[in-house]
Amino acid sequence: MRILIKYTLKSMMEKKFRAFLIVFAIALACGLFLASSRLSSSITDMYYEKITAMYGDADIDIYTNEDSPTYYISLGGCKKVEDKCKRIIPQGYAGAEYKPAGAEGTQYIQIQAYNIEDYLAINKLAVLEGDPLKCKEADLILSEHGMTQLGLSVGDEINLRVNGSMHKVKIVAKVGAEGIFKNESQSGYITGIMPFDTIAKYNKTNNRASEIHIDVKDGVDIDETIAELKEIYPKYTVERTVNIVEIQNQLSSITMPFMMMTFIVVFMSVFIIYSSFKVIMLEKLPAVGTFRSIGADKWVMNGVLLLEALFYGIIGGIVGCLLGIGCLYVLSNIMVTQMMGESGGITLNIPAGSYFLAFLMGVVMAILSTLVPILSVSKISLKDIILNSR
């Protein structure tokens, strides 16, 4: 047996290009299978993570669209569904300009306006310094990233230009990359939180919101509440903050063709492996005859030949998993850029089961693709092999 295995390994090393071709075919099929099977889930997870970072645990979002009469939404209509809501959270936006002392240019800060109690009820703040609950009146919360960029510290008072007017604000807290600050470093913007009432006054919106987030009570039907709100706000968009079904339907039109391409590659890989092993068996036929003539059992020879296929399957499966990670990262980056308008910050969540299935696929594909050539050789009698009359 040791001689047979040694011979098999030696013959594999002698035909390096053919070995590479078989391993590459298996790896490509496994890699594409891993990427295509996890693409939809990975994008959905990243989409969900991005949305929940923005809106936290809120269930419903109301915002303006091209048919809306103004850029702002009155909170009065939400009182009609107040009995179904844990909390109704108005949000505002403002672009603020800050000019550091001695600097020639200005820095832009994207202000998101919340009443801090409302924000903390649905979202996260990783407090590093200061007290966010002191964010009242003309106070500002910045992230560690934003403070570093601006060269500021907690307790500093700065002048911001908001809506054409200068306002003195105080930094009351420094926070980490959680909640609305989670993707700040990737977005390229500096984000800050200020009280909703203050920004509404700066923007002169008469206490109306740019968006309204609603956290419904437990047991309340979200779709029914959305239907009621659509009647109240017919010229505004009312929808779930996270609509997983919609994003999955959108992704299916992209992932299905990719899955079909994977099946085509698998078929081509099986054909390559089958053809290669057919040639290998023809080349090894004289050696097979020699081993069988000195007493090697037919099934032992078949086992040794299958061991070669198993070796290719194991190597191809491992390489395929690595290839699949790279392929999934590239595809996810492209799709996230198209769907969310940003690149980078890609996080891949690939369970161990997916790696195992991709690896197992490589092993099974290698063995099944070589069974026919191996069994064909085993059917040839020793006499026909020796006389070369097969």
Q: Check pLDDT > 60 for residue 340.
A: no
Say how far apart CA 316 and CA 360 lie, in whole Å.
Answer: 10
- CA gap 113, 131 in Å, rounded: 17
Q: pLDDT tens digits, residue range 16-40? A: 788 888 889 999 999 988 888 887 7
Residue 200 pLDDT level (bands cut at 50, 70, 90): very high
Residue position matching structure tokens 């299958």: 306
pLDDT digits (tens, 9 = 90+) for 264-282: 888 888 888 888 888 777 7
Residues of the chain above pLDDT 90, percent: 38
Counting Cβ atoms within 10 Å, is residue 14 exposed (0-12), middle (13-18) or buried (19+)? exposed
Which residue in this structure is represented by tokens 């500093």? 156
pLDDT of residue 236: 95
In whole angstroms, what is the distance from residue 167 CA to residue 225 CA? 39
Q: What is the mean pLDDT of the chain?
A: 83
What does the pLDDT read at residue 338? Answer: 64
Report the candidate in 307, 302, 303 with the shortest Cα–Cα distance to residue 376.
302
Burial of 353 (0-12, 13-18, 19+ CB in 10 A): exposed
What is the Cα Rg of the chain in Å? 32
Q: Residues near 66 by Cβ (< 8 Å), separated by ≥ 6?
A: none
Q: pTM score, two decimals?
A: 0.67
What band does 298 get if pLDDT is binned at 50, 70 and 90?
low
Site of tokens 């949000």: 91
pLDDT for 199: 94
pLDDT in the model for residue 346:
67
- For 122-151, the pLDDT digits (tens) are 888 999 999 999 888 899 999 999 999 888
pLDDT at 197: 93
Which of 333 and 223 is assigned the larger pLDDT?
A: 223
Residue type, 13: M
**pLDDT at position 246 over 80:** no
